């Protein structure tokens, strides 16, 4: 058996699903490969023993056929089905699937009629105005494809920023590895990951120890390290296998840990303003500490070792550093120079930012009734085990047929299933809901007499994202007029590094949401993280309430997605009281009914 690389197996399954889409395979078969990929990616145990012991089919969502393909790939390094279908297309064909507005049907049409098989081919065909002449395309589509090429190329570039959702699992695994190194006293993530930016260029780790050498030696043995880029007195850098990320580890004496952590957390704009405040107090700040300057001395780079530093001040924690400047401690997520420094000086920063410990109910979830990977009972039991006291069942609605959306008959049949599981799984309350498509004209995807029978109605846009700003704004505003819409789901429809937010007049929309009492979702799917923090701030300024939602399609995503929703909410300064699912089930339902 060959060496098992989970990332390669996951990629093979996803590639096969993508090629099947190009060949017009049905959505359920394609989704099966995506689910299998998610299962393998989320494994907490080694893949090798599962394959060797023929236990793959014990994983939810992996049947005999897919298990055999995985076994074949692990054993031989090849998957015959994938190789056969891949040979039908140019080598870079799947690049086209990363272009916004270009689904598999259109990509196949471009290939069949114009021979387009790569991003370069697509750009050439668009610039030569050949695309607009094809049936189903037109000039506007051609222009949108040209605009989307930039997004696709940015995502494909190895030097581009990667999604936080792709980076953080590896970063956290590395952090735990470093904590186990000989002599480590404290260790933390820094940089964009610690500040919870939705995209990340690299990973910073900061640790304290009396001797850096054994820490670096241990760090460089992390199983996913592809290459050691360098090591010095206080810093070592490596490149990782799966994400091609650069990771920088800095090891300093423990007395310098808090100052270094603060420095390498950033942001640059936050630091520049802080240094100006420090100078006004006769202080200077660097990764080496906080120093009081001699009278008349001018701060210089590297002043930690400069003769103008009169005294090094004790900084055990980051809170100590901010206290020396007469400020509240600024949480890492807020350090972007978005007004947090001024608020901290006036001691009006929120002290009750929402956290995982405050979330009482899971909002927005999908089961095998639509495009989820686990049964309703499995999801309910997993939610209960995670400490949720209620669980919203919100499948896709009938217009989303590609995602297994529920016809009216199936929706009503699911209500019986919810009642059955409620009797079986005690200690968690199941709420009947739907994620209704907001149709092109702003209507919701079921009659009002059906919607009014549901506990939770989330309204989301899944199709026709290409409407212009006026059309999209009108569409959303019209949806808010429906009295049975409770929550506006993944509001801008963005997919990070894949699809730009839909054009809309956000302030006008939020104004109406406030007037109508619509709750705004902060969606934790790592692809989405939608609303973005700047829009969270706009919503909160209008007194809107938020739903911190997982959009979970599997048991694993119930826990895996929540931190990303919290990251966006916290970065937008959301307090506990701003979030409706920090309430118990009755309080949550009461908040929905207030409109």
CATH number at residue 276: 3.30.210.10
- Which of 320, 335, 247, 329 shows the shortest CA–CA distance to 289? 320
| Together in a domain, 242 and 315 | no
For residue 546, the cross-strand partners are 520, 579
Residues 6+ apart with CB under 8 A from 78: 72
Residues 379 and 419 in one domain: yes
CATH number at residue 135: 1.10.150.110
Q: What is the CATH number of the domain that holds 560?
A: 3.20.20.140
| 138 Cβ contact list (under 8 Å, min separation 6) | 132
- What pLDDT shows up at residue 306? 47
Q: How many CA atoms lie within 13 A of 224 on its CB side?
A: 22
Same domain, yes or no, for 197 and 62? no
DSSP notation for 315-373: -SSHHHHHHHTT-PPPPGGGTTTSSHHHHHHTT-S-S-B--GGG--EE-SB--TTTT-S
Smallest CA-to-CA distance from 553 within 527, 517, 530, 578 is with 527
- Same domain for 166 and 95, yes or no, is no
- Please tell me whether residues 21 and 144 are part of one structural domain: yes
DSSP state of 198: S
* DSSP 8-state assignment for residue 425: S
Residue 219 pLDDT > 90: yes
Each residue's pLDDT tens digit, 267-281? 999 999 999 999 999
> Is residue 1 included in any domain, yes or no?
no
Q: With cut-offs at 50, 70 and 90, classify the pLDDT of residue 296.
A: low
Give residue-wise pLDDT tens across range 79-127.
999 999 999 999 889 888 878 778 788 888 999 999 999 999 999 999 9
Instruction: Identify whether 525 is part of a domain.
Output: yes
- Could you say which of 123, 156, 189 is where a domain stops? 156
pLDDT of res. 44: 56
CATH code, domain with 177: 3.30.460.10
More confident: 490 or 503: 490
Tokens 């973005």, residue located = 532
Flag whether 14 is in a domain. Answer: yes
**Residue-level pLDDT at 451:** 96
- Per DSSP, the three-state class of 19 is helix
Q: How many domains does the chain have?
A: 4
- Same domain? For 180 and 152 the reply is no
pLDDT at 158: 42
Tokens of 34: 């995506």
Q: Got the DSSP string for 34-102?
A: HHHHHHHHT-SS-HHHHHHTT-GGGSTT--HHHHHHHHHHHHHS--HHHHHHHTTS-TTGGGGGGSTT-
Phi, psi of 592 (to 5 degrees): -65, -35
Tell me whether residue 80 is in a domain. yes
Could you tell me the pLDDT band of residue 307, with boundaries at 50, 70 and 90?
Answer: low
240 token code pair = 């990782």
What torsion, rounded to 10 degrees, do the Cα atoms 177, 178, 184, 188 define? -120
Q: Give the containing element (helix H, strand E) for 525.
A: none
pLDDT confidence band for 430 (50 / 70 / 90): very high
Other CB atoms within 10 Å distance of the CB of residue 9: 22
Q: Tell me: do 312 and 432 sit in the same domain.
A: no
Instruction: For residue range 156-205, list pLDDT tens digits in order.
Output: 554 468 889 989 988 999 999 999 999 999 999 999 999 999 999 899 99
304 and 194 within one domain: no
Q: Could you say which of 217, 252, 287 is where a domain stops? A: 252
Q: Domain check: are 193 and 118 in the same one?
A: no
- Rounded mean pLDDT of 374-383? 94
Examine residue 205 and state whether it is found in any structural domain, yes or no. Answer: yes
Phi, psi of 406 (to 5 degrees): -85, 125
In a domain, 351, yes or no: no
Distance CA 478, CA 113 (A): 39
User: What tokens were used for 151?
Assistant: 């997004």
Residue 497 has what pLDDT? 80
pLDDT reported for residue 295: 66
Find which of 37-41, 211-215, 236-240, 494-498 is predicted with most confidence, using mean pLDDT: 211-215
Q: State the Cα–Cα distance between residues 562 and 556, nearest whole angstrom.
A: 11
Take residue 14 and report the two structure tokens written for it.
Answer: 């996803």
Residue 591 CA to residue 517 CA, distance in Å, equals 9
Shared domain check, 328 and 292? yes
In a domain, 129, yes or no: yes
- Report whether pLDDT(301) > 50: no
**What is the pLDDT at residue 43?**
64
Round the average pLDDT of the chain to a whole number and report it.
89
The answer to whether 411 and 446 have CB atoms below 8 angstroms apart is: yes
Per the structure block, which two tokens stand in for 179?
């904590």
pLDDT at residue 460, as a whole number: 95
- pLDDT above 90 coverage of the chain, percent: 64
The values of phi and psi at residue 444, to 5°, are -90, 165
* pLDDT > 60? residue 370: yes
Q: Is the pLDDT of residue 1 over 60?
A: no
Q: Which structural domain range is residue 181 located in?
A: 162-252
Q: Read off the tokens for 374.
A: 């686990």
Q: Is residue 67 situated within a structural domain?
A: yes
Q: Report d(CA 202, CA 594) in Å as an integer.
A: 44
Contact 545, 519 (CB under 8 A): yes
Q: Is the distance from CB of 464 to CB of 441 less than 8 angstroms?
A: no
As a whole number, mean pLDDT of residues 540-557 equals 95
Nearest to 558 by CA among 428, 363, 396: 363
Burial string for 481-516 (b: 16+ CB within 10 Å, else e) reads: ebebbbbbbbbbbbbbbbbbbbbbebeebbebbbee
Give, for 560, the enclosing helix (H) or strand (E). helix 555-560
Say what the pLDDT of residue 162 is: 86
Query: Do 313 and 450 fall into the same domain?
Result: no
What are the residues whose beta carbons fall under 8 Å from the beta carbon of 421, sequence distance 6 or more?
Answer: 376, 377, 380, 430
User: Predicted confidence band at 373 (pLDDT cuts at 50, 70, 90)?
Assistant: confident
How does pLDDT run across 24-54, given as a tens digit for each residue?
Answer: 887 778 878 877 887 786 665 678 888 888 8
Q: In terms of domains, do 77 and 148 share one?
A: yes
Whether 304 has a pLDDT exceeding 60, the answer reads: no
Model confidence pLDDT, tens digit, residues 131-140: 999 988 988 8
End residue of a domain, out of 345, 378, 411: 345
Give me the pLDDT at residue 464, please.
Answer: 81
């Amino acid at each position: 058996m060959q060496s098992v690389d989970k990332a390669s197996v996951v990629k093979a399954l996803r590639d096969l699903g993508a090629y099947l889409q190009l060949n017009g395979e049905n959505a359920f078969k394609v989704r099966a490969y995506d689910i299998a990929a998610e299962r393998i990616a989320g494994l907490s145990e080694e893949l090798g023993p599962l394959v060797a012991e023929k236990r793959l089919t014990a994983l939810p969502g992996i049947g005999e056929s897919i298990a055999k393909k995985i076994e074949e790939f692990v054993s031989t390094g090849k998957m015959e089905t994938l190789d056969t279908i891949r040979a039908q297309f140019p080598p870079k064909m799947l690049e086209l699937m990363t272009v916004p507005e270009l689904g598999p049907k259109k990509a196949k049409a471009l290939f069949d009629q114009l021979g387009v098989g790569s991003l370069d081919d697509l750009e050439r065909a668009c610039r030569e105005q050949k695309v607009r002449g094809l049936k189903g395309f037109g000039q506007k589509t051609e222009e949108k494809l040209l605009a989307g090429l930039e997004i696709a190329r940015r995502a494909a570039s190895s030097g581009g920023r990667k999604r936080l959702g792709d980076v953080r699992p590896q970063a956290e695994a590395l952090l735990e590895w470093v904590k186990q190194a000989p002599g480590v006293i404290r260790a933390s993530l820094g940089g964009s990951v610690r500040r919870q930016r939705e995209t990340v260029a690299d990973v910073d780790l900061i640790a304290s120890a009396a001797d850096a050498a054994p820490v670096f030696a241990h760090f460089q043995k992390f199983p996913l390290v592809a290459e050691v880029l360098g090591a010095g007195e206080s810093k070592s850098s490596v490149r990782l296998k799966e994400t091609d990320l650069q990771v920088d580890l800095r090891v300093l004496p423990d007395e310098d840990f808090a100052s270094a952590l603060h420095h390498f957390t950033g942001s640059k704009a936050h630091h520049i303003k802080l240094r100006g405040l420090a100078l006004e107090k006769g202080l200077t700040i660097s990764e080496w500490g906080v120093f009081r300057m001699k009278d008349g001395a001018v701060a210089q780079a590297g002043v930690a070792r400069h003769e103008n530093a009169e005294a090094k001040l004790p900084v055990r924690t980051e809170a100590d550093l901010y206290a020396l400047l007469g400020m509240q401690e600024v949480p890492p997520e807020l350090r972007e120079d978005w007004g947090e420094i001024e608020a901290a000086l006036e001691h009006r920063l929120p002290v009750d930012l929402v956290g995982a410990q405050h979330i009482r109910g899971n909002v927005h979830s999908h089961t095998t009734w639509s495009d989820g990977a686990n049964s309703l009972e499995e999801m309910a039991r997993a939610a209960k085990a995670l400490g949720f006291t209620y669980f919203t069942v919100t499948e896709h609605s009938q217009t989303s047929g590609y995602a297994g959306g529920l016809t009216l008959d199936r929706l009503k049949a699911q209500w019986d299933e919810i009642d059955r599981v409620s009797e079986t799984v005690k200690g968690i309350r199941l709420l009947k809901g739907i994620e209704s498509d907001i149709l092109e004209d702003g209507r919701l995807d079921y009659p009002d007499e059906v919607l009014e029978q549901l506990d939770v109605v989330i309204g989301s846009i899944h199709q026709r994202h290409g409407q212009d700003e006026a059309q999209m704004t009108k569409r959303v505003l019209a949806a808010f007029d429906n009295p049975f819409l409770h929550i506006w789901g993944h509001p801008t429809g963005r997919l990070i590094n894949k699809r730009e937010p839909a054009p809309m007049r956000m302030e006008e929309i939020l104004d109406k949401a406030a007037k109508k009492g619509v709750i705004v979702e902060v969606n934790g799917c790592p692809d989405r993280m939608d609303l973005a923090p700047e829009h969270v701030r706009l919503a909160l300024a209008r007194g809107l309430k938020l739903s911190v939602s997982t959009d979970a399609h599997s048991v694993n995503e119930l826990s895996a997605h929540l931190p990303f929703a919290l990251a966006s909410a916290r970065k937008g300064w959301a307090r506990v009281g701003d979030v409706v699912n920090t309430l118990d089930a009755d309080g949550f339902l009461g908040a929905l009914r207030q409109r």
